Every structure is written in structure tokens, then in C-alpha cells.
Amino acid sequence: MFDSIKKKFSAEGDETVSSTAKPDISREKSAELYEKAKTYFPGGVNSPVRAFKSVYGTPLFIEKGDGCQLWDADGNQFIDFCCSWGPLILGHNHPKVREQVIEVMKNGMSFGAPTALENELAELILKHNKYIQKLRFVSSGTEAVMSAIRLARGYTKRDKILKFEGCYHGHSDSLLVKAGSGLVTFGETSSAGVPKAFADETIVVALNDKAAIKTAFEDFKRQIAAIIIEPVPANNGLLLQEREYLQFLRDICTENGTLLIFDEVISGFRLGFEGAAGYYQIKPDILTYGKIIGGGLPVGCYGSSVEIMAQVSPDGGVYQGGTLSGNPVAMAAGIAQLTELLRSNFYRDLNNKTAEFVEAIQRFATARNYKFKIFSIGSVFWFAFTDKEAIRRADEIDPAGMEKFKKLHRELLNRGVYLGPSGYEVGFISSAHTKIDLEKAKRAIFDSLEVVFNGK
Ligand SMILES: *Cc1c(COP(=O)(O)O)cnc(C)c1O
């Protein structure tokens, strides 16, 4: 059997698979910078996952990115699959984005007054997205979601929101809440500093569980302002939902006068220009975007129907504002990036490239009976150490797999491939990843898997 497998893969240019761990890359400069950083920032970082707590070694300090490549302070070079956690769908330092940003910056950075660029980005989005009629720009995904929740509460005049265990919606108080024990629970705060009273307004249920949703609507009749979900949950592994389940949420929300919020901060402009709503053809009431929308600069947005958006100040009573909201530099980056995404076949090519990459790795692992599965959708993928055919709920993830991920991460860094430093994070492929880059990455992944499963 082994011979036939070998033949199959040699056809793809993979004859040499070594199962020996590689020596660690040099991290002298990164380690030095990290020591300094620890004196300035909690944990040495400005966002927790960057601290490499779930993988080996100190965080790499990045000096430069270009296309799909990253360079760290020690001069190590990597093919990057983190892509700044999703925003860089065109890769690093895309010339069109860079040039527009530089051009706009020549006229100043921020005015705290309207500019034509805001209209331009809004028009670009609204013209090609049938799921929203009006929007508001903010400066992060967290802000977008926080504002969407306030809007839902203001519009429905109800207080409770329902979220899912295994979805992440940024770090605002009402959403830093996790499930307690039981089918339908009041949330328990998942961060110190979140008042219990806030958590009491958030109901938390497991994904892919219709009974729990029905119970929640019975227990909290006419109290639930909104259900919020990542239609493609991609912050706790990739917990792909079935369309039918999302449709069920749509229908039960409509029946109960509850708004459905799709948090598309990752999936928006990623699965296609219309994100997951377009992919599944399900119309939520409010949508939130972030990451890709800003072309690498801080932009978020929430949008809805004309009627619902009329509740937002200054038209309506739901207050929300921002000093740097819609600032021209960030708008310029967004315009440049989204314009590229609208080119014909952009998503078809990107998604096909990803599918080929993912299928080749899966074939490799399956042929060797590794307990390893890649889940993917569009240009998002997740490496899971499991033999399950599908993982749709957070509690179906085997935490033991994370030890294997830790090894894989190290072997990949040592072979020039950069993944986000946690086994719960997904990877992204950009239009800058060429077939040759993906071929190289694939070989590094084959070798690394060999080490993880059989290595010394
Ligand atoms: C990243 C993310 C957020 C938070 O966005 P920030 O820009 O980090 O504040 C919210 N929701 C989802 C689904 C995300 O992936």
C-alpha cells in the first residue's frame, strides 16, 4: 500500500518526507525585543494571542511583510497563513492599497468631518451587497458588534441577547460571556471585570442545537432582542454550521420579533463579496464587518435596513460615534482593497487555490492514517487533530489535539511557514499566495506532520 501512496505523492513533487525534527530558528532579536516589550505591555503584547502562550518559544517580532511572505527581526522568512488574522486577503503591502493610502495621506490624516472617501467606500459596499441598505463605519470589529447589539436592543426595546458558545464577537462586556452548565444558561463572565448583571442579559447556548434555541425562546418570551452568531464560526476552530441550521435561526427570530445578527467580521468579504449571508443566501437583520473591510487599517462597520438604521443617532435614539470613524486613510485602504475583490473571478480563483491546497494535505494525512483533518470554507482553513467527519460545536473539539498543534507549529516555523500561534485559530490564504508558495508550504506541512505523528 505504501508504494502506491508514494507514487501518488511523487506525482505532486513530494518524494522526500523526513520525519526528523528541524533545529529551532534563531530568535535572538525577537527574544530581546520581547523582554523589553514585557516591561511596557501586559504579557509583552497589545493583544493576548500574540504572546505565543499556546506554542513553543517567544513571539516573533515582525519586521516586514510583502505578498504572502513575512520577515522577522532575526531575518527569518516565512510563508504567512495568519495574514494579520484575516484582513490581508490581498497579502502584505499590496501595491494598490499602499499607493492609495500614500496618496490620500498627502492631504492629511483625519478631519473629524465628512469626506467623499466615506461615500466612496459605502457606495462600493452597498452597490454589491444586497443584505444591507445603510451602514455606519467604526474603527474595529469589537466596536461594530457592540454597536450592533445596542442597535438591536434599541430597536426591539428588549434587553437580552443570545450568543453561542464557540463564537467570538470582540471584547465588549455583554459578549465576554461563556456558557454555564445546562442546555440554556445565563452566561458566566469569561473575563474579570465584567459585571454579573451584564452577563445576566446574555443567554449562551451551544451551536447546532435547535432544542436549546427553542427552550431559550420559551424561557425568555419576548425578551430576546437579538441572536448573534458568526455564520461561519472561525474563532474557536472552524465550526462550520449547516445552512439548514442558519435558516432555522432566521425563521425562529422572525417568529419571535427577535433580530438576527450575523457577525461577519471574519467571513465578510472573505467567502465572497457578500460574505456568509451571500454564501448561504440568508438575510440577517443586522450585519457586522471588520478585518478585510479596512485593507489592513482599523475599520469596522455595521449595517442593516433603512428602517433599522434610522434608530442610530443623530436620526434616532441609539447613540454611537467615533473620533476617527471613517477617517480618510483607512477609507482609502478599504476602497483600494475592496476594488480588487470585485475583479471578475477573484473569489473563484482564491477559493479554488485553497481547495486544492487543502485537499492535497488531507490526502496526505488520510493515506497515512493520521488523526488529522482540515476543515475549510472559501479561503479559510483549520487544522484539527481529530478523526471526526465534522465538528460543529465547541465541546466537540478534543483539547488533547492542541499538544499536537503545538509541535506542528514549531516544526512549521522551522520550515518557513507561519501559522497563528494557537490551535484554535484558523488560517487564511490570500491572493498573493502563488501556486509555488503553496507547493512549498505543502511540503513543509507534510514533513511537519510526519514529525508530529512519527518523529523523533
Ligand atoms: C476579530 C473579530 C471580532 C473583533 O474585531 P476586532 O477588530 O479585533 O475588535 C469580532 N467578531 C469576529 C467574528 C471576529 O473575528
Best of 49, 139, 142 for a ligand 1 pocket test (most atoms within 8 Å of beta carbon) = 142
Looking at residue 2, its pLDDT comes to 43
Residue 168 beta carbon below 6 angstroms from any ligand 1 atom: yes
Residue 169 beta carbon below 6 angstroms from any ligand 1 atom: yes
Residues 237 and 300 in one domain: yes
In terms of residue numbers, what domain contains 177? 95-341
pLDDT digits (tens, 9 = 90+) for 160-172: 999 999 999 999 9
Arithmetic mean of pLDDT, 242-261: 98
- Residues in contact with 69: Cβ distance below 8 Å, sequence separation at least 6, in sequence order: 77, 78, 79, 80, 92
Residues 219 and 115 in one domain: yes
Distance 167 CA to ligand 1 centre (A): 10
Count how many domains the chain has: 2
Residues 197 and 236 in one domain: yes
- Residues in contact with 332: Cβ distance below 8 Å, sequence separation at least 6, in sequence order: 100, 101, 103, 104, 105, 117
Residue 148 has pLDDT above 60, yes or no: yes
Residues 258 and 367 in one domain: no
Residue 296 beta carbon below 6 angstroms from any ligand 1 atom: no
Residue 264 beta carbon below 6 angstroms from any ligand 1 atom: no
Identify the CA nearest to 226 among candidates 156, 136, 131.
156
Residues 297 and 151 in one domain: yes
Concerning whether 131 is annotated as a catalytic residue, the answer is no
Is 90 among the domain residues? no
Helix-then-strand count for the chain, H and E: 14, 17
Determine which one of 34, 155, 168, 289 is catalytic: 168
Is 86 among the domain residues? no
Q: The whole model's pTM is what?
A: 0.95
| Residue for grid cell 425578551 | 223
Residues 199 and 337 in one domain: yes
Residue 298 beta carbon below 6 angstroms from any ligand 1 atom: no
Separation CA 300–CA 288 (nearest Å)? 7
Looking at residue 456, its pLDDT comes to 67
Specify the residue with its C-alpha closest to ligand 1, atom 8.
141
Looking at residue 9, its pLDDT comes to 42
Concerning whether 168 is annotated as a catalytic residue, the answer is yes
User: Which amino acid, residue 371?
Assistant: K
In which band, very low, low, confident or very high, does the pLDDT at 1 lie, cut at 50, 70 and 90? very low
Looking at residue 186, its pLDDT comes to 77
Residues 272 and 334 in one domain: yes
Looking at residue 324, its pLDDT comes to 97
Separation CA 70–CA 82 (nearest Å)? 10
Residue 180 has pLDDT above 50, yes or no: yes
CATH number at residue 404: 3.90.1150.10
Residue 337 beta carbon below 6 angstroms from any ligand 1 atom: no
Residues 27 and 121 in one domain: no
Residues 31 and 142 in one domain: no
Q: What are the C-alpha distances in Å from 432 to residues 91, 154, 281, 388, 438?
A: 5, 42, 28, 32, 10
Specify the ligand 1 atom closest to the Cα of 230: 13
Is 87 among the domain residues? no
CA dihedral over 138, 144, 147, 151, signed as positive or negative: positive
Residues 268 and 134 in one domain: yes
Specify the residue with its C-alpha closest to ligand 1, atom 5.
141
376 DSSP β-pair partners: 381
